[in-house]
Structure 1
């Protein structure tokens, strides 16, 4: 499956809210629908604001598969590293090689710039196995997240 990136626009807000909800709702089983919706709306707004404040120069991209929105990718770059701030795919798009292909592309970008590629992953996130397969190594812990890094010499 071919995935493409395009810049996020204001028209993507509803898709991003739906994506956030589909990814996060699995982490909050048992909540009544109205309460779940309210909680997810608050978390989504907080995440959006937090990312834009913490990473003002970041790229905010929509992942498209066959022309349809399938996920998001947020990437920040400094003189020291590429930082994968966020990558999320609709659950229906997981397990199809899309994330692997995107991550390999980021690895090539990091290698071309002579930079490591860094990320944080929640401790219970199954994507950690993918990161390890692609050569990311644990570099520490930050709250409920594991910090990981890929360097050119990892492959």
Structure 2
């Protein structure tokens, strides 16, 4: 991906990460335009297994995945303007992303994912627990997310964190966690958890 193509990408909304919750195992900061190369690399890691057996040269796979990332990025910026687009860091180095919409009485996890070497270390559980604890403190009615039907690893993580399956489509499962006794409205846009 050339620098000029990156320059055509929309920037993240001008939001100030408010530190409404913290995670002891990593730090969070607002995503910046300069993070796009890392986010492209992260996106490729999400889909590496899916593309492993496709008989394309690696350069073609990377070009295709870069296009897919660009489309996803444009969609997220347009569809979720009130979202906190966050970079997760460990010892100052980016390790993942968390896109979280906290502007309503029900929070929406749009996307969460780590580089492959940071998966299966308990970070996902720690982040979900922190988000859930912040929701309890702020008396949020619930948290909703959507997970790819083929991502059984993530589904198990969400179930272990108290999320329940409430609806399925051809491609995704809608899951929610509720503050006890409060109804939860459906979120209209799917989350993308990796």
Scaled by the length of structure 1, the TM-score of the pair is: 0.93
* Residue matched to 1:84: 109
* Paired residues of 1:2 and 1:66 also in contact (CA < 8 A): no
Q: Which residue of 1 aligns with 2:13?
A: none
Measure the CA separation in 2 of the matches of 1:18 and 1:90. 8
The answer for the alignment partner of 1:144 in structure 2 is 171
More helix by percentage: 1
Could you list the per-position Cα deviations for residues 23-52 of structure 1 after superposition, in whole angstroms to 9, with x for gaps in the alignment? 112122223213211210111001101111
Corresponding position: 1:58 with 2:83 = yes
Confirm or deny that 1:13 pairs with 2:40. Answer: no
In structure 2, C-alpha distance between the alignment counterparts of 1:106 and 1:79, rounded to whole Å = 14
Matches within 5 A, 1:32-47: 32=56, 33-47=58-72
**Number of residue-to-residue matches in the alignment:** 154
Q: Is 1:132 matched up with 2:151?
A: no
What CA RMSD, in Å, does the superposition of the two structures yield over aligned residues? 1.5
**Contact 1:76 / 1:82 at 8 angstroms: preserved in 2?**
yes
**Equivalent in the alignment of 1:110:** 135
- Mapped partners of 1:62, 1:72: distance in 2: 5
Q: CA deviation at 1:152?
A: 2.3
Higher-Rg member (1/2): 2
- Does structure 1 conserve the Cα–Cα contact (< 8 Å) formed by 2:82 and 2:103? no
State how far apart, in whole Å, the 2-side matches of 1:2 and 1:132 are: 21
- List gaps (5 residues or longer) in structure 2: 1-23, 182-194
